[in-house]
Amino acid sequence: MSIKRYGVGGSTGTGGQSLPFAKAVEAGGWLYVSGQTPMKDGEVVEGGIIEQSRLAIQNCVDIMQDAGFSLADVVHVKVYLTDARYFPSFNKVFREFFADHPPARVCCVADLVVDCKVEVDLTCYNAERAK
């Protein structure tokens, strides 16, 4: 089984900081997308939980699709919110992306290392890619 890393080198976090991890790693038909926050060009996008949730999920989806996976391949999502009151709003956005193929999910409240409201990561599986 080979391991392929996506987005190694060139990834930047807040303030242009170089990030020491891959955006995603593929192994044996599985794709693990690193946690994504609502960032564009290394900066957190301002906005409420709806806007930030949409961008965090879209950042994951973009990485996943660049690696050749689809929304139907998502088997598990981890969600970190900074406030439990964001849960209903996050769920509305989540349905926009996953209504047709709902994955398993965990959602918890946690402090995040960047100043934003949400972080999301995805795990995907595609049997055809496991061959």
> For the residues 106-131, what does the mean pLDDT come to?
94
Which domain does 122 fall in, by range?
Answer: 3-129
Q: 5, 24, 27, 8: which is closest to 129 by C-alpha?
A: 27
CATH number at residue 57: 3.30.1330.40
Which tokens hold the place of 119?
């972080």
User: How many domains would you assign to the chain?
Assistant: 1
* d(C-alpha 90, C-alpha 50), whole Å: 6
Residue 41: phi, psi to the nearest 5? 50, 40
Which tokens hold the place of 66?
């660049």
* Residue 69, Cβ density class (10 Å: 0-12 exposed, 13-18 middle, ≥19 buried): buried
Q: Over pLDDT 90: what percentage of the chain?
A: 78
Q: Give per-residue pLDDT as tens, 59-84.
A: 999 999 999 999 999 999 999 999 99
